[in-house]
Chains A and B, each alone.
Chain A
Amino acid sequence: MNHIKNASDAASRVNMLTRVIGRLKPVILGTAGTMFLASCATNAPQDTWQPKGPNAQKIDSLQKPVFAVAGIIGLIVAAAVTYSIIKFRDRGQPIPKQSHGNPALEITLTIIPALILAVVGVFTFRTVFDLNKTSDTQMIINVTGQQWWWEYDYPANNEYGITQPIITSGQLVIPVGTKVMLRETSRDVIHSYWIPALNGKRDAVPGRITINRIEADEPGIYAGQCTEFCGLSHANMRMEAVALSKEDFAKWVANQLKPYAAPAEGTLAKEGETVFLNQCTRCHQVNGLTRADGTPVIAAPDENVWSGAVPNLSHLMSRNTFAGAMFDLLTPECRNDVWKSDSASFGAKYLAGVSEPCLNQTDLRGWLRNAPAKKPMYANPAQLAATGGKYRGMPNLGLSESDIEKLVAYLLTLK
């Protein structure tokens, strides 16, 4: 995991610094006025004050007034203290009367905040129960956290054309305007599922099923991040929720259910399939993949990985991210194109998946070359005594450059 410091690294640091300083400019120039303007500008993708669905909206309309009240009370206290400091400083006045207080005033000043809090309490109570309502759920997705990625599986649901279970990871795809229930759990430690624009967080606790609900108003990508500390790569356990219009969602489902298409004989991708069969299927499942003799390949992650599962790579290129959404499968330009598109054109752009010119070759190849160098994981045999030699994360497979070339070509066919 040690990063070799070379010239380009240093250069990128300098670069980073200039960019950060560049960002300071609006601040240095800015005044209070910019604060108001800025609230409309592009905030961080995980801004908790920009709800994009009814659940998050309910939280937002509850918390904004609370913030306002808290702010006002804070100002009153600050003003009272400031006034006292100025007014009652020692100007040689006589020692004041030794009064021990004023019970009536005390009681009043106790009751007022109590009343304010009682009002807040009533609204809180209502919202808590409102957010926990599950009877009108329209769609169920099982969400499973694991160090350090999320797995999503869609149980069969004829209403949405899901004739057999779909399993995916990295990006959670949901139809807009649909009340989706997430049944969360974890395979190892506690994680927490959080897409701020859609709802508050809910822990994924191993051995328990916790329920969370999300619903998106508009098509788009909503960023999120694991928020319960889950070990080494906690910082790299991200998620993205993709909302598609109902029609686009149906197309997405149809694509996920599409049977496996083996690459044509003689192509680089076909050679990549062989490499994949030899190297990757020990853990990674691709549904429908068969060996040369026609037997279906069932991966055995439980024999190699401590938590017993790894991402299922069927239709990998229909997703935009890999390695627990830490890296994009798209180049920065193509990614921007998808993220910044308006809600009308978003669906088509997302469903186009990852094509060769848009593929983020750097990170994908780097990952195949030496995954633990790109993301801290327990893949060094010396660290695996506690797990009986089983990995926690993807090890360095020691692939040759030509193998990587072939694998990339093969992975590109997994649309």
Chain B
Amino acid sequence: MMWFDLALGLGLIIAAIGVFRSEDLFRAVVLFVTFGILLALTWLRLQAPDLALAEAAIGAGITGVLLLDTLGVFRQHEQDINPRSSSQLPDISRQWAANVLALIACISAAGLLAWSLFNTLKMPAPHHNLVTVVEANIAYSGVSHGITAVLLNFRSYDTLLEVAVLLVAIVIGIGLRERVTTSANATSDEGQSKLSEPPALLTSLVRLLLPLLLITAIFVLWAGSTRPGGAFQAGALIAAAGVLARLGQIDIAARVTTILRLGLTLGVFIFLIVAVSPMLTGKPFLTYPAGWEGTLILLIEFMLTISIGLILLSLFIQAPRPRIPAPVRNAIPATGPNAETNKGGDQ
């Protein structure tokens, strides 16, 4: 098995170098997605199935989609403003200074890391061994799977803050939407997604895949308490389903309505309520009442899945897009629905 690890490790490094060296952004993103998949494999080799699932779903999946969508927006933006030279020649001196700085930073970082990694080999085993501590307390945590226990019981405050981080990201996303989102412009958002009628084949596949995706998402959520799985991976799957629906022109959560806001904040809200309620009976913050840990964790995970799914989906939908340029807009009424504007390279 040693050779496989060696190959996988080198594969990761080569993929990374490929990402950095490629000039064309599209190539870099594709290589980045392969890097994500290889990384998922590495997590499997490190006996961390949760991380493999998360890396594949979130790291390679959602990030890949966001990056490709951004490239589509850039390419369309280039077309609107009559394609001029991609970028003027950067002044050499700044580039040279950046290179030197990068060299120094790399060498010092490499030296430090090598020196410390080399010494850890000689070090005795660490003083604390949390593995035994987790095993000892897992019985009281209400779930049998170690990672879910740590995430939602032992270190649940981290998870609370983490979902808050996601919420802040989407709040900024909504905040930066096109300023003129009053009624005048809203329709154009709708109109735009209706514009390029997708091939019938895609819509049929999407209709087939959607229910399947939702079932797996709920399964992953449910399995979380005993096997690798959990709120974040399930949330990512729901987001993937949403993105597919969006591509297949089934419109959900397109406009920022109060229902969407409720959905976004649902997870953190329920989490806070569950965390604060025991405080009334004098227990410290974030403690679950004695017999109820299992069910409460499942409740929180369910709510978290919904809001994480919605947040990741809205990060895709609400991201700023160029409004339809004037010449194309007045072209629509004349030629009917199947005008040929290409809505970004989503394939």
Q: Do A and B come from one complex?
A: no
